[in-house]
Structure 1
Amino acid sequence: MAKAATGNVPSVGKASVRIVVVGDRGTGKSSLICTAATDVFPANVPPVLPPTRLPEDFYPDRVPLTIIDTSSRVEDSGKLGEELRRADAVVLTYACDQPATLDRLSVFWLPELRRLEVKVPVIVVGCKLDLRDEQQQISLDHVMTPIMQQFREIETCIECSAYKQIQIPEVFYYAQKAVLHPTGPLFDQETQTLKPRCVRALKRIFILCDQDRDGSLSDAELNDFEVKCFNAPLQPSEIVGVKRVVQEKLSEGVNENGLTLTGFLFLHALFIEKGRLETTWTVLRKFGYDNDIKLAENLIPSSFKKSPDQSVELTNEAIDYLRGIFELFDGDGDGALRPIEIEDLFSTAPECPWNEAPYKDAAEKTALEGLSLNGFLSQWALMTLLDPARTLENLIYIGYPGDPLSAIRVTKTRRYNRKKQQSDRNVFQCLVFGPKKAGKSALLNSFLGRPFIDTYSSTTEERYAVNVVDQHGGVKKTLVLREIPEDGVKKMLVNKESLAACDIAVFVHDRLL
């Protein structure tokens, strides 16, 4: 990983970067753009430049930049707002020889960007550095730190001089870098720690690279990782150097077998603190992550050819894999996955997929709020029925070794099953509907082994309950009960596709009425 900053950077997922330059009149916006594009300070510049394009070979990431100059006149505020909404990054200027323009950043410009809901990185640039009064030299860190604490959208600050060509290329390099290698998804500036989703992604990458599953990256595994991410092997002396840096700062980061997960995460935090975000982004992108630190959409099959009366189920291969995962994460061997164990299981995914409706509380729980094996497999069956792409995504996150498409199958049509007088389905969906206070929710709760609750609470959203049902001869099937709110029945009855997904329907009524 010592060569990470100089390795070849893979595709960053953007064909171009659009940077909009804003600031008070006379702060040097147009001169900054002209000098960056031509390497020559312009004698005369128009009030507002036309769009300026920097070629793809201008910076190492080889992504062309389009720089948009803007007018700060009040009558042009509409045009300014349009440009800002199309920006990938904003360069916000002040003049080093005009302290009032620096004050205007926090008084006007940064609040204005928020008012316009411009949610892109901001690079604050002090222009005309050569004109600053030598008697008024100030520390940029001292001045900008309180502003950056108030406006977290500021990515970095830099001062430059177009006239003397001081740090001009760096301005737009930092702006491009903020777009292609953003800090926000990776690092919490307040706590100075990696963000949870970044930790989860790096943990998954570590596990994938730990081929012998001993909890450490050996020298050979580190070298394989380097070649995969940066197309260049590490020399033995470089591997020693990497481990020495980690061990000096964090003793548990290295053990007798190699670099530990703790050490791996420490290295990435160190890269980010030193401004080498491209290193971590290169690793994430090589393993298929996008700018939201989720697997890129093109890696997850999302469309499944099926008619409305077909459904999607897990294959036996996937179920066997999930049985093994259940046993692996049932650390205390009590036959159930408690919440902490489920969180550990999904610790390599962006988040646990079952924390929200319709999956939250959809399966039977043990006395300690754990999931039995049947409950665990039921949750996967429900997710596969409702959102097969999400099932495949999470199987990939937890390390499913085969082709993701081998984990699911599309069932035969009901017409075919009726013709053959048999069904190939293992998961059946039952619609539950009826008037208010008829007992629909109580039926679902009973199905999950939950006690009857005497107090009434109206169901306003669809609710699911899923469980394994024993059949004759030891055969097990999964039944999904889908409760339809009273005001949703009419809508469902006119939607043939919704009805086509139903294997059976139950009408619930109060026999006393």
Structure 2
Amino acid sequence: MLSGETIRVVVCGDEGVGKSSLITSLVKETFVSNIEHVIPPINIPVSTFELLTSTPAPSSILLIDTSVSDTAALQQELRNAHVIWLVYADHYTYERITLYWLLMFRDIGVNLPVVLCANKCDEDQDAPLPNVTSTDNSNSVENLGEAFIPILKKYKEIEACIRCSAKESYNVNEAFYLCQRAITHPILPLFDSKQGSLKPDVITALKRIFFLCDKDQDGFLNDAEFLELQLRCFGAELQPSDHQLLKATIAGLLPTYDEARGLSVDAFLLLNKIYSEKGRHETIWSILRSFQYTDSLSLDDKFLHPFLNVPASASVELSPQGYRFFVDLFLIFDKDNDGGLNEHELTELFSPTPGVPKLWQETNFPQTIVCNENGYVTLQGWLAQWLMTTFLDYHTTLAYLAYLGFESKFKTTKVSTVSALKVTKQRKRRQRKGRSFRAQITDRNVFSCFVVGESNSGKTSLLQSFLGRSYSNTYSPTIQPRTVVNNVELRGGKQCYLILEELGRLEPAILENQKRLNQCDVICYAYDSSDPESFQYIVDLREQYPGLDNIPCVYVALKADLDRQQQRCDVQPDNYTRDLYLPPPSHVSSSWPTSLNELFVRMVETAQVPSSATPGLEPEPEDVGMSPIVLAGGAVGVMACLSIWFWRRGIVEGVKAVTARKQ
């Protein structure tokens, strides 16, 4: 039931059971003897009764009276209903509940919660239904009498039952409240009365809530954590006496309960099971909804995927809040303090989520990041992975921020996961001599680089070296795109993140995709300096995809530790780049760490200042300065003027002194 909707309550039952009297007694708060046989629908605002306060709250409730004699109209109203208020008044109409009404509901395909109401209890004190407000209670079933137990077991759609009297205005408001509660706080999704246990979906949801509330991840909710949960869900602090009573209840039912440590996950589930058995499912729903669960026990899609306005040429990164959140998450789950997340720790960390993000699986995580000597995910790699995820698909980051409880770190529930991200400025373009190029970037810290080149030119080794991994002589052709990410320290100490992507056999499809090209900040054209056929591939590639001319680029000669070969090409690499107004190729090798670091810095700086390496863009003409002779002459002139000024000033002062002595 969505907040703000109108609940349709259809009141039905045999003739003479008092349906219209119940509605009239509810609305007028007094018994009216002479009323219509079937009264018109009545719309009741939620604010009319205090009992109706709930979250989510409907805007109003529409009470619809029916007549059993008009079958077509009755069945039409039942199909449009949200809840059925089924009324009986004596033993005959009680028998008709199972022999006609509940069977008819099923025959016409109506699967709705039913509130069973024994009216006229002031006339028949021996009516077969006692005053019980929840049927999903194994302890209460024993008190209902042998005649009523078969109905409860056979018809699970019966949400609640109650004795009332329209004439005495007894329990009329309460019956009306039960109709609303059957929609706003249904018991069926929570509790399996036949098994006497919570249903699997609610157990999964409650375990996630326990995980988020267990701030120190010790497996227990201590008093402070439990009271914080209470305040968040119910907006009020738990009284000390009630807290002690709750502890005593748990201790009496769970022998393993350790009051000193707090509630374990089993104790927390047991507590919610008790709420269900006692008909307090509003309590469970308050907990679930405060953590953004819907009636289907799934997280609200608007919570998982909030709107974020990202212009076409902008990018998304982690904000300081998001950065801090993932740092804290790493530190909490690095239980052995070895500086890395092992497989077990990662499993624990992702337990409240659907698992490792699909994007991570597709990019072969953790091969995408820096790991320690044991292969565990380091903090450096962990942050780089999330920054890359945010850059490539911020929707995934938003969803996992929600799963992992970003908003639960704050005292207010109004904090959105959107605050963990920041949107950079739109990329602008400039003109120079009729040539369009990308403007300088000043507000970004994450950059994307496509690494393209001939097979076996050393691209994979370049990516492995970026992560600090050792060189391997084994050649394995890249089929699927391979992506890695790491931080790069620029001149001056600023830290940026660089995503290197080797395109593999999808290279043609990616280079033809303008959207993917727009996301690329710099292209690295790599060739094997020891293979004379390697550079021609780059020449042919640029001719085939002219759109590459709009992207700044870096040329790199790999395997520079081997003998350098003359390229069998119409133009040699140095001349080729010079004709494009580009810097010459960088000569690097996996065995030369300094050359690699300089290359990665150059990639980032090229992405930051695209005009410095856009193919075919002529350099901006330098200002014509003064020649050294002119500068020297100017300096001599200035010195001469100063000397004359001081000389004249000295003469004037001397004349004044002589004149003063004569006087």
TM-score normalised by the chain length of structure 1: 0.67
- Shift of the alpha carbon at 1:180? 2.6
Deviations 1:213-257 (A, max 9, x none): 794423x66556555655655554443322222211113333325
- Shift of the alpha carbon at 1:273? 1.9
Check if 1:428 corresponds to 2:448: yes
The residue number in structure 2 matching 1:460 is none
The residue number in structure 2 matching 1:380 is 386
SS at match of 2:439: helix
Between 125-134 and 388-397, the greater mean CA deviation after superposition: 125-134
Check if 1:394 corresponds to 2:400: yes
Deviations 1:30-50 (A, max 9, x none): 333223323315433333532
| Equivalent AA in structure 2 for residue 51 of structure 1 | I
SS at match of 2:256: helix
* Percent identity for Structure 1 against Structure 2: 25
Structure 2: distance between partners of 1:182 and 1:165: 26
After superposition, residues 300-339 of structure 1 pair within 5 angstroms as 302-315=306-319, 318-319=322-323, 321-331=325-335, 335-338=340-343
- Shift of the alpha carbon at 1:201? 4.6
Change (3 A) 1:231 1:397: same
- For structure 1, the residue ranges without an aligned partner over 5 or more in a row are 1-11, 433-442, 457-462, 507-513
After superposition, residues 277-356 of structure 1 pair within 5 angstroms as 277-285=281-289, 291=295, 302-315=306-319, 318-319=322-323, 321-331=325-335, 335-338=340-343, 341-347=345-351, 349=352, 351-352=353-354, 354=356
1:419 to 429, 439, 443: 439
The residue number in structure 2 matching 1:510 is none
Structure 2: distance between partners of 1:499 and 1:70: 65
CA RMSD of aligned residues (A): 5.2
1:465/1:480 contact within 8 Å kept: yes
The residue number in structure 2 matching 1:271 is 275
Structure 2: distance between partners of 1:346 and 1:172: 43
Structure 2: distance between partners of 1:69 and 1:297: 36
TM-score normalised by the chain length of structure 2: 0.54
- Shift of the alpha carbon at 1:310? 1.6
After superposition, residues 84-99 of structure 1 pair within 5 angstroms as 84=81, 87=82, 89-93=83-87, 96-98=91-93, 99=95
| Equivalent AA in structure 2 for residue 477 of structure 1 | L
Check if 1:408 corresponds to 2:421: yes
The residue number in structure 2 matching 1:468 is 485
Structure 1: distance between partners of 2:66 and 2:87: 11
1:477 to 498, 505, 521: 498
- Shift of the alpha carbon at 1:267? 2.5
Check if 1:179 corresponds to 2:183: yes
Between 465-474 and 74-83, the greater mean CA deviation after superposition: 465-474
Change (3 A) 1:465 1:453: closer
| Equivalent AA in structure 2 for residue 83 of structure 1 | N
1:31/1:45 contact within 8 Å kept: no
Change (3 A) 1:478 1:58: same
1:56 to 47, 52, 58: 47
Structure 1: distance between partners of 2:386 and 2:502: 15
After superposition, residues 426-505 of structure 1 pair within 5 angstroms as 426=446, 428=448, 466-468=483-485, 477-479=498-500, 500-501=518-519
Between 291-300 and 194-203, the greater mean CA deviation after superposition: 291-300
Check if 1:192 corresponds to 2:197: yes
| Equivalent AA in structure 2 for residue 394 of structure 1 | Y
Check if 1:217 corresponds to 2:242: no
1:121/1:154 contact within 8 Å kept: yes
Structure 2: distance between partners of 1:93 and 1:41: 18
Change (3 A) 1:273 1:385: farther
1:36 to 26, 37, 51: 26
| Equivalent AA in structure 1 for residue 498 of structure 2 | K
Deviations 1:101-150 (A, max 9, x none): 42224422134244xxx6x54334455667879698964641322323xx
1:24/1:94 contact within 8 Å kept: yes
Structure 2: distance between partners of 1:237 and 1:323: 38
After superposition, residues 62-141 of structure 1 pair within 5 angstroms as 62=53, 64-70=60-66, 73-76=70-73, 79-80=76-77, 83-84=80-81, 87=82, 89-93=83-87, 96-98=91-93, 99-114=95-110, 121-127=113-119, 139=146, 141=148
| Equivalent AA in structure 2 for residue 478 of structure 1 | I
SS at match of 1:60: helix
Structure 2: distance between partners of 1:483 and 1:133: 82
| Equivalent AA in structure 2 for residue 279 of structure 1 | T
1:312/1:409 contact within 8 Å kept: yes
Structure 2: distance between partners of 1:196 and 1:267: 12
Change (3 A) 1:342 1:199: farther
Deviations 1:376-421 (A, max 9, x none): 5566346534653552453254344477455322234343692228
The residue number in structure 2 matching 1:242 is 246
| Equivalent AA in structure 1 for residue 80 of structure 2 | E
2:41/2:62 contact within 8 Å kept: no
SS at match of 1:35: helix
Structure 2: distance between partners of 1:143 and 1:358: 52
- For structure 2, the residue ranges without an aligned partner over 5 or more in a row are 130-144, 368-374, 430-436, 453-459, 525-663
Structure 2: distance between partners of 1:75 and 1:215: 57
- Shift of the alpha carbon at 1:69? 2.7
Structure 1: distance between partners of 2:34 and 2:179: 25
- Shift of the alpha carbon at 1:203? 0.7
Change (3 A) 1:422 1:162: closer
Larger Rg: 2
Deviations 1:63-92 (A, max 9, x none): 6533223455344368426633xx3x3334
1:207/1:213 contact within 8 Å kept: yes
SS at match of 2:36: coil
SS at match of 1:424: coil
- Shift of the alpha carbon at 1:430? 6.6
| Equivalent AA in structure 2 for residue 413 of structure 1 | Q
2:152/2:158 contact within 8 Å kept: no
1:47 to 30, 38, 63: 38
Aligned length: 455
Change (3 A) 1:470 1:499: closer
| Equivalent AA in structure 2 for residue 248 of structure 1 | G
1:337/1:372 contact within 8 Å kept: yes
- Shift of the alpha carbon at 1:192? 0.9
After superposition, residues 347-366 of structure 1 pair within 5 angstroms as 347=351, 349=352, 351-352=353-354, 354=356, 357=358, 360-364=361-365
Structure 2: distance between partners of 1:326 and 1:34: 61
| Equivalent AA in structure 2 for residue 37 of structure 1 | V
Between 370-379 and 53-62, the greater mean CA deviation after superposition: 370-379
Change (3 A) 1:310 1:146: same
The residue number in structure 2 matching 1:439 is none
- Shift of the alpha carbon at 1:58? 1.8
2:334/2:340 contact within 8 Å kept: yes
Deviations 1:254-300 (A, max 9, x none): 33254455434432332222112223334455566555566767877
The residue number in structure 2 matching 1:147 is 154
Structure 2: distance between partners of 1:414 and 1:140: 75
2:207/2:265 contact within 8 Å kept: no
Change (3 A) 1:327 1:482: farther
| Equivalent AA in structure 2 for residue 91 of structure 1 | W
- Shift of the alpha carbon at 1:308? 0.9
SS at match of 1:97: helix
1:252/1:262 contact within 8 Å kept: no
